[in-house]
Amino acid sequence: MDYALFLPEIYLLLTALVFFCQSLWKSSARLNQVIALILSGIGVIITFYSINLTGELFYKAYLIDLFSQTFKCLISLGLFLIIIIGQKIKSIEDQYQPEFFMFLNLCSLGLMLMISSVELLTLFIAMELSSYSLYILIPIRKEINVGKMEAAIKYILFGAAATGIMLFGMSYIFGITQSTYLADILKKMPELLGQPVAVIGLLFILCGFFFKLAVVPFHFWTPDVYEGAANITVSFIATMPKLAAVALLLRLVSLAGAGAADLIQVLVLLAAVSMTFGNLAALVQKDLKRLLAYSSIAHAGYVMLGALTMNTIGFAAAVYHITGYLLMNLACFLVLCSVSREGENVMVSDLSGLHRRSPLLALTLAVGAFALAGIPPTAGFTGKFFLFTAALSQGHLTLVIIAAVNTAVSIFYYLNIVRFAYGKDPDGLPEVTLSFSNRLLNYGLITAIILMGALPTLFIDLAKTACETIIS
């Protein structure tokens, strides 16, 4: 076995073990945060170093290609950014922070394993690793409100149900193809697609990822989990599992190939309902995290536009958009975590006059919100533009128009956030002071969101090459 191929995963496992040791004795919270920062920083370097590797591991159940390595890079990068945001965690007690970092790393490990899995059982185990870590992460929060247990229970129940459906789907697929290897399934799929059982089996498997991605009707956990879990945990839940879910969604949808008209129909329906529901529900939210939760449901719908095109360009657009989504969502959560004083939830009205209390944060928030709304020259616009183009080229005119109307609707609540930050007076809310690393992250995210939007060629080419490997 070539260990270099598996290095990013091994490294994450070791990091998790370091924190396991740290949790055995009393250690200062600051020390743990610094260790986490340094280790995840090295993790990013290791993962980027392995981006061009290709190979197969574990009896061909584990595939390392450009597609999986790109996503792994994004995950390690996202983890690093989240740990920078978490340099002053206010929402989690000091004594639980080693465990927090341990499960954060374990969950990332699970997500990375998921991305490379090309065999159903491996995939299932990887997914459970990440889910179980999240089940524990969600209730780790200071006793500020009682919602955290509700959030945890909801996530477990919905997660378990979605997993159950997914397993059921896997049994169907195994039953008709006699294999759990995606490569074998792919070969047999075209002749089987005429049978309803193949489409239903595939759809049921997808349900597991719809749950992670918060696509309607698997979205019910989202607002409550966002509201109940610690701010820093939510910034993780809101981004990382979605990356992995998109990766797997694309991998599995490509199994069906272009012939699966029924499957596409269902995806179109889910996409339309998701974005419409998400945007309409977000209009009335007062809690910033709930608002972002519904916005994530809407964005899940947008990403589906790329998945249902069944071609390279569409898949690349989906990869591009989810990457942009990672950046702009983190920008919003960075502001949210910084504005929250004691780790409490942040209402939209708590952002009042932010441009006086901290001009930099207000700018980050504005860039993040405008990017989520899809205003050029941000990554959010370019992503949406690519998705719309890809979907329209496959003739999904109605869906694109629904998406366009949704974009117009969504402006209202994104702009509302900016309105509070720029249009209102602070009304006695205190100034926000930022640490050096926090400032740096602000500048970094603003630059990244705008540069990625204005000069997308480099990334979209990479995404396209990566997606070519999964579409046969």
Partner 1 sequence: MDFLIPNQLNYPILSTLIFLPLAGAFVLFLIRDEKAAKIWSLFISLVVFALSLPLYFYFDPSTYKYQFAENSPWIPVFNINYTLGIDGISLFLVLLSTLLIPICILASWKYIEKRVKEFLFCLLLMETACVGVFSALDFVLFYIFWEAMLVPMYLLIAVWGGPEKVYASFKFFLYTMAGSVFLMVAMIALYLTAGTFSIPQLMTHTYSFNFQFWIFLAFGIAFAIKVPMAPFHTWLPAAHVEAPTAGSVLLASVLLKMGTYGFVRFCLPITPQASIYFAPYVLFMSIISIIYGGYVALGQTDMKRLIAYSSVAHMGFVTLGIFLFNKQGLEGAVIQMINHGITTGALFLCVGIIYERSHSRLIKDNSGISKIMPVYIGFFGFFCLSSMAFPGTNSFVGELLVLIGAFTDNRLIGALSIPGVVLAAAYMLRLLQKIAWEGKGDSHLSDMNLREIVYLAPLAMFVLWIGFAPAPFLDVMHATVNHLVEQVQAANAVALVR
Which member of 10, 415, 434, 471 binds partner 1 (CB under 8 A)? 415
Nearest residue (CB) to partner 1, 52 versus 457: 457
Per-residue binding string, partner 1, 341-360, x by CB under 8 A, is --------------x---x-
Q: How far is the CB of 271 from partner 1 (least distance, A)?
A: 16
Q: State the virtual CA torsion across 311, 312, 318, 319 in degrees, nearest 10.
A: 150
Nearest residue (CB) to partner 1, 13 versus 454: 454
Residues between 278 and 317 that touch partner 1 (CB under 8 A): 313, 316
Q: How far is the CB of 42 from partner 1 (least distance, A)?
A: 33
Residue from 104, 313, 297, 286 nearest 219 by CA: 297
Nearest residue (CB) to partner 1, 11 versus 370: 370
407 binds partner 1 (CB under 8 A): yes
Nearest residue (CB) to partner 1, 114 versus 366: 366
Q: How far is the CB of 88 from partner 1 (least distance, A)?
A: 26
Which member of 249, 388, 446, 448 binds partner 1 (CB under 8 A)? 388
405 binds partner 1 (CB under 8 A): yes
| Rounded-to-integer distance, Cα 223 and Cα 221, Å | 6
| Rounded-to-integer distance, Cα 431 and Cα 352, Å | 11
Nearest residue (CB) to partner 1, 19 versus 420: 420
Nearest residue (CB) to partner 1, 115 versus 387: 387
Q: How far is the CB of 389 from partner 1 (least distance, A)?
A: 5
As to burial, measured by CB atoms within 10 angstroms (0-12 exposed, 13-18 middle, 19+ buried), residue 449 is buried
Task: Give me the amino acid identity at 96.
Answer: Y
Distances (CA, A) of 1 to 60, 142, 182: 12, 44, 21
Which residues is 64 bridged to in the sheet? 55
459 binds partner 1 (CB under 8 A): no
Q: What are residue 25's phi and psi, to 5 degrees?
A: -125, 175
What residues contact residue 50 under an 8 Å CB cut-off, 6+ apart? 4, 5, 7, 8, 69, 72
| Rounded-to-integer distance, Cα 358 and Cα 63, Å | 46
408 binds partner 1 (CB under 8 A): yes
Which member of 214, 381, 438, 466 binds partner 1 (CB under 8 A)? 381
461 binds partner 1 (CB under 8 A): yes
Nearest residue (CB) to partner 1, 29 versus 450: 450
142 binds partner 1 (CB under 8 A): no
Q: How far is the CB of 182 from partner 1 (least distance, A)?
A: 27
Number of residues that bind partner 1 (CB under 8 A): 39
Which member of 77, 400, 417, 446 binds partner 1 (CB under 8 A)? 400
377 binds partner 1 (CB under 8 A): yes
Q: What are residue 302's phi and psi, to 5 degrees?
A: -60, -45
Which member of 272, 460, 466, 467 binds partner 1 (CB under 8 A)? 460
Q: How far is the CB of 379 from partner 1 (least distance, A)?
A: 13
Q: How far is the CB of 321 from partner 1 (least distance, A)?
A: 14
Q: Choose the stretch contacting partner 1; rule: CB under 8 A; options: 35-43, 191-199, 224-232, 411-419.
A: 411-419
160 binds partner 1 (CB under 8 A): no
How many other C-beta atoms are found inside a 10 Å radius of the C-beta of residue 38?
A: 11
67 binds partner 1 (CB under 8 A): no
Q: Choose the stretch contacting partner 1; rule: CB under 8 A; options: 80-88, 128-136, 164-172, 381-389.
A: 381-389
Asked whether the bond before 217 is cis by omega within 30 degrees of 0, the reply is yes
Contact in structure between 70 and 458 (CB atoms under 8 Å)? no
Q: How far is the CB of 411 from partner 1 (least distance, A)?
A: 5
What residues contact residue 90 under an 8 Å CB cut-off, 6+ apart? 231, 337, 340, 341, 342, 343
Q: By CB under 8 A, name the binding residues for partner 1.
A: 313, 316, 355, 359, 366, 370, 373, 375-377, 381, 385-386, 388-389, 392-393, 397, 400-401, 404-405, 407-408, 411-412, 415-416, 418-419, 422-424, 454, 456-457, 460-461, 464
